[in-house]
Amino acid sequence: MQMLDPDLLKTFLAFVDGGSLAQAASVVGRSASAVTTQMQRLEDIVGEPLLVPQGRGRVLTPAGEDLVGHARRILAVHREAWLALKGVRADGRVAIGTTQDFADSGLPDLLRAFAVSHPRVRIELRVGRSAELTQALQSGTLDLAIAMRQAPAPDEVGVLREPMMWLCSQKGLVSRQDELPLALLDPHCGFREAAIAALDTTGRRYRIAAGSASLAGLRTAVNAGIALTLRTARFAHSGIVEAPRDLGLPPVPIAEFAIRLRQAAEPPAQHLAALFSGNLALAGAPS
């Protein structure tokens, strides 16, 4: 009997959560052809088709739908076993820095799993902007940081890739005008720069209708219908949805987040970094 490879199951769930093979490829950091090959291998092991063409994309077959729950449970048990073996004698502290994106979505479940298996390790969590987190990591204040990636760095242990999305209130904008109203974080912010660059490239007129130093302020402005913003799908909850296509918004790039580990970090921080690298892309991702 052939066993279900966890790597294949991770790619399968990346397709389920992202809705396309292209999105799955982005999440797992492989080419589209490699992802297709992985899905074919998984189908060979299962003995039945898992995906079928529909329109321009693919959807799950009944066998694929049945596999989803099994895949999530298998990966959860696999993660728990790995953590239990690593955390038997671990103690000390781990200082983590993260952007709000992952503090709200993904990190809580993984930190809970880590705390169960590493009960003697003290967690210190800092939520902030990417620039300040990077600086804190470089100064030694943080052991581990999840921050928006500007360029490859030698301390990276993982890279998360998620599509940027134009988002607005599910109630719509208060008013539609020739100038597109934007809600953006204060400089310097990768999403702010990407939004402005995309609009400038296409010649679309815009104005910054709301600015904020925090994601909480940004969420308030977007929920009020004052403006739309550019983030990832992790920001799309609590009344915030993808902006309608009739707004004619320009395409935007993939957002990259780096998981970075301090060079002299102790084993518990290394364990947590490995946990994030292998699981954060799927944890908390909207279905």
Taking the CB of residue 266, how many other CB atoms lie within 10 A of it?
15
pTM above 0.75, yes or no: no
pLDDT band at 87 (very low <50, low <70, confident <90, very high): low
Chain centre distance of CA 100 = 11
Strands 165-169 and 240-242 turn out to be antiparallel
Instruction: Find tokens 């952007």 and name the residue.
Output: 99
Q: Does 1 map to a domain?
A: no
Chain centre distance of CA 249 = 22
High-pLDDT (> 70) share of the chain, %: 94
> Which one, of 72, 64, 70, lies nearest residue 10 by Cα?
72
Residue where a domain terminates, one of 63, 84, 105? 84
> Which one, of 231, 227, 285, lies nearest residue 99 by Cα?
231
Q: Does 286 map to a domain?
A: no
Chain centre distance of CA 183 = 21
pLDDT band at 124 (very low <50, low <70, confident <90, very high): very high
Are residues 34 and 76 located together in one domain of the fold? yes
Are residues 263 and 239 located together in one domain of the fold? no
CA distance 185 to 191: 8
What order of strands is seen across the sheet that includes strand 229-231? 229-231, 165-169, 240-242
Q: Does 96 map to a domain?
A: yes
pLDDT in tens, 230-250: 999 889 888 999 999 888 899
Residue where a domain terminates, one of 33, 65, 84? 84
User: Which of the pair, 98 or 1, is modelled with greater confidence?
Assistant: 98
Taking phi over 0 as left and psi of -120 to 50 as alpha, with beta for the rest, 274 belongs to alpha
> Across the strands, what pairs with 165?
231
Expressed as residue numbers, the domain containing 237 is: 165-252
Provide the H-helix boundaries in the chain: 6-18, 21-28, 32-46, 62-87, 100-104, 107-117, 130-139, 190-202, 215-223, 267-279
| Domain CATH number, residue 43 | 1.10.10.10
Are residues 175 and 47 located together in one domain of the fold? no
Coil, strand, or helix at residue 84? helix
**Total count of domains within the chain:** 3
Are residues 275 and 133 located together in one domain of the fold? yes
| Domain CATH number, residue 145 | 3.40.190.10
Q: Does 233 map to a domain?
A: yes
Q: Give the mean pLDDT of 66-94.
A: 77
